[in-house]
A and B are shown apart, each in its own frame.
Chain A
């Protein structure tokens, strides 16, 4: 028999779980399977980390980092060559956010990027040295009032292609993830 205390504990646990998986109201993404989450704690790679790169928060070194990770994914066949531009776009959005918003453009602060994969998915984790953010500060791209905003479209762009976009460390690490491309 379930006691009142057990019910309260279960309810608390569910509320905590819900608060850890904050989904922004973003409508149905093109794939229908997209997930955007804010999680507590540190990111744990799903498999072996095959590439790590650290660079200062300087936009002139961003391109090199983007090419490094895009090449690594395409060469391994995890991303199709024809999808490379989508991957570059997502990397650009995430690395720019880490450099300009996370590290507030301070060149003394680094951005660290890591690529990991298991048999089914690849992940690219981008970490900055900032304080993170809250989902409430992200404009809801589906709100009609957001249509004329000049910022806040990065997440909408990324979710169009990625399988999931997960934030860790209060938003100071973002993990881009997608299924490994089927052999063509």
Chain B
């Protein structure tokens, strides 16, 4: 189990796992590596997880972090879970469209909306 990166707040309710990213700049490689490892570790600790990644506090994000999101997505699919990203700032959204992540992962305006949807439609 990796050491906590200190940049994530993780709360789990049943199989719903809310992950809030508290760092605003996801550019430095050690930060990205630590967050990536912590996200993948979620798959070890939660069976068929319904993960919500709350990026509302993120202002900058590099392609390396996008790669970690892809790795998480692949892990979630392998674990027969689901993944949603919530709260992305309007000026960051083009980044997800350019990298075509929006074709893989569903985006929501806020985490609460995803929690309600996950509760309505449990896996």
- A127 interfacial by beta-carbon distance below 8 Å: no
Residue of B with least CB distance to A147 = B100
- A151 interfacial by beta-carbon distance below 8 Å: yes
B99 touches A156 (CB 8 A): yes
- B64 interfacial by beta-carbon distance below 8 Å: yes
A89 touches B30 (CB 8 A): no
A160 touches B94 (CB 8 A): yes
A151 touches B67 (CB 8 A): yes
- Contacting A150 at CB < 8 Å: which of B67, B95, B103? B67
By CB atoms of chain A within 10 A, which of B62, B63, B91, B98 has the most?
Answer: B63
Tally chain A residues at the interface, Cβ within 8 Å.
23
B43-98 at interface with A (beta carbon < 8 Å) = 59-64, 66-68, 70-71, 74, 91, 94-95, 98
- A135 interfacial by beta-carbon distance below 8 Å: no
B62 touches A156 (CB 8 A): no
Query: What residues make up the interface of A, taking CB atoms closer than 8 Å to B?
Result: 30, 59, 62-63, 82, 85, 88-89, 92-93, 96, 100, 141, 147-151, 153-154, 156-157, 160
Query: What residues make up the interface of B, taking CB atoms closer than 8 Å to A?
Result: 27-30, 59-64, 66-68, 70-71, 74, 91, 94-95, 98-100, 103-104
